[in-house]
Amino acid sequence: MIDIYACAKKHYDWAVNLRRYFHVHPELSGQEYKTQEKICQELQLLGVPFYKAAKTGVIAEIKGGKPGKTIAIRTDIDALPLQDECGQIYQSQNQGACHACGHDGHMAVLFGTIRILNDLQADLSGTFRFLFQPSEEEFPSGAKELIAAGALDGIDAIIGAHIWQPVPLGTIGISYGNLMAAPDKFQIKITGKGGHGSMPEQTIDPILTAAQIILGLNTIVSRNIDPLDLGVVSVGSIHAGQAFNIIPETAVIEGTVRSFSKKIQKLIFNRIETITQGICAGNGATYTIDTVMERPAVINNPLYAKAIKAAVDLCESNIKAKEIPPVMSGEDFSYYLHKVPGAFFFIGTGSAKSTYPHHHPKFDIDEECILYGMEVMARTAIRLANT
């Protein structure tokens, strides 16, 4: 009889130590060379076949002893450009790099899953492919490069997970449809006419124009989108001028748009253009708008989300599944779901040990969530390979 929970407990401490290694040695998107080296070393020790892909990524595979479907499991491996302030013995030693999104925990969960499946290999049906993906945090997406390298060739389904602080420890967050939004980016450059701050009548003030545009953008969701639809427009930065008494020539606004449908995405960007055009025309300024609409939304296939729920119900550890509403954060796991069916889920880590939000310098996970993630991931993969 396959005892997945016993395997998970056996390898839990090893997975935690590996997570701490990755937390101490984070690397930014596209620079994960030492992370790749460590992944390869561990796979080699386990006797799991692998090859390097997408520059700093790795693809590995375990074949079960019986025929079945081929299931992919993906983790991201890059860190954020942030100074780590977690205050633990495993605090980052790489200045300006920090696993403040939980990717170190994701790698630990996948490695723990690999050890479980490796232990049970002779009794398993199907094939299990493991994707260690670089560059999730930055454009261009590492998922696209990994797919181009053949990561999904012959794959019947794919699963993945994100350790998620807003979800309580011991809870697996599941959505049967929309889960994570498309994280689009825009930049508006306003060109006016600079001059002395004491004589604004001689200028076309790009800062004043930018301020009016920002106020206008903040009406899009409240006045143009149906309250039952999901959309976000947020301005994250504005840059203009270098001196207190000089009205500059230009101002630059940068922000993000989040949506789940092409209809809402198009509506929002059309409104951004209309509002910017009208305000600039009224002030005598000109503008350019650059957009990055790279990643689609993460929308789960309901059948595979139900498979995750069924796997959680079989778990022997003290966890439960909970249906959660969509979140407006983005994830390039969406690229895989556009190619093969599958689902993405949240592993709750919220506890007294994990109180800071993702992307905060003091963010940390409650490492008990790794055990839960290992068991759920292994059970789901085995279940899908047998269906």
Task: Give the residue numbers marked as catalytic.
Answer: 78, 136
**What whole-number distance in Å separates Cα of residue 128 and Cα of residue 307?**
16
Cβ neighbours for 198, distance < 8 A, ≥ 6 positions apart: 245
Side-chain-facing half-sphere of 254: CA atoms under 13 Å: 7
> φ and ψ at 304, to 5 degrees?
-80, -30
Give yes or no for a contact between 277 and 287, defined as CB atoms under 8 angstroms apart. yes
Facing residues of 255 across strands?
A: 186, 235
Nearest to 275 by CA among 235, 333, 317, 318: 235
Cβ neighbours for 243, distance < 8 A, ≥ 6 positions apart: none
Phi-psi region of 96 (alpha: psi -120 to 50; beta: other; left: phi over 0): left
Cβ neighbours for 281, distance < 8 A, ≥ 6 positions apart: none
Report CA-CA distances (Å) from 304 to 141, 192, 307: 24, 53, 5
Nearest to 297 by CA among 230, 358, 361, 246: 230
As a whole number of Å, the end-to-end CA separation of the chain is 19
User: Strand 125-133 relative to strand 66-76: parallel, antiparallel, unpaired?
Assistant: parallel
**What whole-number distance in Å separates Cα of residue 363 and Cα of residue 368?**
15
Whether the bond into 140 is cis, omega within 30 of 0:
yes
